[in-house]
A and B are shown apart, each in its own frame.
Chain A
Amino acid sequence: MDIGKDLVAASATPLVLAILAEGDSYGYAILKRVGELSDGELTWTDGMLYPVLHRLERLGYVEARWGKSETGRRRRYYRLTQEGRAQLEEQRQQWQVVDATLRGIWKDTLERSSERLRPAPGLRAAWRTT
């Protein structure tokens, strides 16, 4: 499924913060985790993660430090800060409101549309002829 650009952008912050809440991580691992969590449905352009991480760093939600990868390359690790944790909690509540609202309206429309989808007998006859 192709998820729209705006939605990807909007979900990036809570997603990255939530993944870092599981433990310190780095860019490539964060993207792999996103892939696992969404069964590969939510895909980002990999390069776009880094400006997001830098923005979160500037806002003070994450801290970055240079470390070493298992093969000895220099690698930048990110850690969630106290502020980041608070931000994550706030975002979680916001998303829950959005989620609950959408669920509510989708339930309604689903019920109504399933009624409408049960066609009248005359129509059914018309369908059969075409």
Chain B
Amino acid sequence: MTSETPLETQIALWREYLRRHPSVRSSDVEELEDHLRAQIDGLTAAGLAEDEAFLVAVKRLGNLDAVSREFAREHSERLWKQLVMAPGGEDGEDEAASSRARTEVVVAVVLATLAAIALKVPELFGLHLLAGEGEAAAFYVRNASLFVFPFLAAYLVWKRGVWERDGGRRNPVPGWVPIVLLFVAGLLFANVYPTLEPRHTLALTATHLPIALWLAVGLAYAAGRWCDLARRMDFVRFSGELFIYYSLIALGGIVLTAFTVQMFQAIGLDVEWLVSRWVLPCGALGAVVIGAWLVEAKQSVIENMAPVLTRLFTPLFTLVLLAFLGTMAWTGTGVAVERDVLIGFDLLLVVVVGLVLYAVSARDPEAPPGAFDALQLLLVLAALVVDAFALAAIVGRISDFGFSANKVAALGENVVLLVNLVGSAWLYARFLRGRGSFAALERWQTAYLPVYFAWAWWVVIAFPPMFGFR
């Protein structure tokens, strides 16, 4: 279609305007456009100039907002954005887009299947999943993230086309090289160290390697623009949405497996071995890639969920923290310091950092300070005070009983998160008093991300030798 004549330009503008109505599909636009053109043809044949004919035809078509409301009444389902059935598939329009969407589904499913198969490969070498305690269990615990993250990264690399963009021309090192190197490093450090009873450093590796390798996923996601802070924030959003989608898929999976076991039990067959050895572990890995595909596919279709949950839970967490502080002040009891307690406080800080991060990720940096920002500051301050009590107690305990791998790791995490929250509190306060911009807070959060990864790598690489592989 040419848009050289003024009439074509006008029709194109009209079409664009109509397209913006969510209840009007592109096939409806085409139908209405045919009407408009037929009307214009009729009017010009009757002697009107083209631009006059256009105006009359548009007038007769009526108020487009009212028309689109009628469409909405007729097709109310269109206001519920449909994700999986890619819109535009019908009537052969947007062929390229829907075929691209189909390819993407296939790639995601294939990679998810590969991840599931990868999990079963070590069994060929006698390392059985669910072998209880011992070497096999230790092997799976250490390497869990290595079975799936490479496939997740591969999906993102495929999707972003890192291969072409950074390959050879601008950058002498192709974009996928650092990603592969990170995975190789993870594989090495997780497996070359010996593990001795009581295997504390093994547990630390198992919990920190996923965080460390998430950097590789981030590099794949950012496609060579990891240094771009806006891109990093996109990765944060991606991670949050992936977490939510994964949880939803997991819930569905639990229902599915429960039914499977129940139904086969009804006919006297015990399929629990199948479920626990194949369905659950393979499904748990494959779901990560499928979840990533869903997040990518729905990105522009559905509103992000993580910020919505943040809005919901920020007031509640603030309330709980304040109530906790109030009770502690009232009864005068201190924090009983066990290792578990410190890990609990670490998790609390993780949640608070997450709430701040996702509130930041969804906020318009230009908007003036509001009540929600003040609430965020209150949350951060309450978390800081609570954590100060816990930290004081643990430091006392360490000076009494000495260092252990777990205590040092928990303490280190606490410090890493605490520094982030102190910075956030400071920047929030400045922002609320009109002394600083919200963008500074956003920069602080995204610039801080590498610190988490650095700490996780440090735990994976340095802790086992530091603590004698115990």
Segment from B64-72, B120-128, B373-381 that makes contact with A? B64-72
Which residues of chain B come closer than 8 Å to A99, judged between CB atoms? none
Question: Which of B27, B30, B31, B64 has the most CB atoms of chain A within a 10 A radius of its CB?
Answer: B31
Binary interface encoding of chain A residues 23-63 relative to chain B, with 1 for a CB under 8 A from any of its CBs, else 0: 00011100010000000000001111011001100100000
**Contact residues of B with A, CB < 8 Å?**
27-28, 30-32, 34-35, 37-39, 41-42, 60-64, 66-67, 70-71, 73-75, 91
Q: How far is the CB of B64 from chain A (nearest CB, A)?
A: 7
Which residues of chain A come closer than 8 Å to B41, judged between CB atoms? 71
Q: How far is the CB of B344 from chain A (nearest CB, A)?
A: 56
In contact, A48 and B70 (Cβ under 8 angstroms): yes
Majority SS of interface residues in chain A?
helix
- A47→B62 CA distance, assembly (Å): 6
Q: How far is the CB of B53 from chain A (nearest CB, A)?
A: 14
Which residues of chain B come closer than 8 Å to A28, judged between CB atoms? 34-35, 38-39, 42
In contact, A74 and B34 (Cβ under 8 angstroms): yes
Q: Decide if A69 is an interface residue (CB 8 Å cutoff).
A: yes
A57 nearest in chain B by CB position: B74
Q: How far is the CB of A36 from chain B (nearest CB, A)?
A: 13
- A69→B32 CA distance, assembly (Å): 14
Which residues of chain A come closer than 8 Å to B91, judged between CB atoms? 66
A64 nearest in chain B by CB position: B31
6 A/B residue pairs, CB under 8 Å, sorted by A:
A45-B60, A45-B61, A47-B64, A50-B71, A51-B71, A54-B28
Q: Decide if A103 is an interface residue (CB 8 Å cutoff).
A: no
Q: How far is the CB of A98 from chain B (nearest CB, A)?
A: 25
**Contact residues of A with B, CB < 8 Å?**
26-28, 32, 45-48, 50-51, 54-55, 58, 66, 69, 71, 73-76
Select one of B38, B60, B67, B73 contacting A69, CB under 8 A: B38
A27 nearest in chain B by CB position: B35
Q: How far is the CB of B316 from chain A (nearest CB, A)?
A: 44
- A55→B28 CA distance, assembly (Å): 13
Q: How far is the CB of B75 from chain A (nearest CB, A)?
A: 7
B60 nearest in chain A by CB position: A46
In contact, A46 and B30 (Cβ under 8 angstroms): no
In contact, B34 and A69 (Cβ under 8 angstroms): yes
Which residues of chain A come closer than 8 Å to B64, judged between CB atoms? 47
Which residues of chain A come closer than 8 Å to B67, judged between CB atoms? 45, 47-48, 50-51
Q: How far is the CB of A6 from chain B (nearest CB, A)?
A: 15
- A46→B34 CA distance, assembly (Å): 12
Nearest 5 A-B pairs (CB), nearest first? A45-B62, A47-B67, A51-B70, A28-B38, A47-B62
In contact, A54 and B71 (Cβ under 8 angstroms): yes
- A71→B73 CA distance, assembly (Å): 33
Which residues of chain B come closer than 8 Å to A74, judged between CB atoms? 30, 34
- A64→B64 CA distance, assembly (Å): 22
In contact, B32 and A47 (Cβ under 8 angstroms): yes
- A63→B121 CA distance, assembly (Å): 55
- A54→B24 CA distance, assembly (Å): 12
* 14 further interface pairs, Cβ-Cβ under 8 Å (given A47-B63, A69-B38, A73-B34): A27-B34, A28-B42, A45-B61, A46-B60, A47-B61, A47-B64, A50-B31, A50-B71, A54-B28, A54-B75, A66-B91, A69-B34, A74-B30, A75-B34
Q: How far is the CB of B59 from chain A (nearest CB, A)?
A: 9
Which residues of chain A come closer than 8 Å to B73, judged between CB atoms? 51
Select one of A32, A50, A73 contacting B32, CB under 8 A: A50
Which residues of chain B come closer than 8 Å to A58, judged between CB atoms? 74
B38 nearest in chain A by CB position: A28
A55 nearest in chain B by CB position: B74
Q: How far is the CB of B70 from chain A (nearest CB, A)?
A: 4
Q: How far is the CB of B397 from chain A (nearest CB, A)?
A: 70
Which residues of chain A come closer than 8 Å to B31, judged between CB atoms? 27, 50, 75-76
- A58→B76 CA distance, assembly (Å): 13
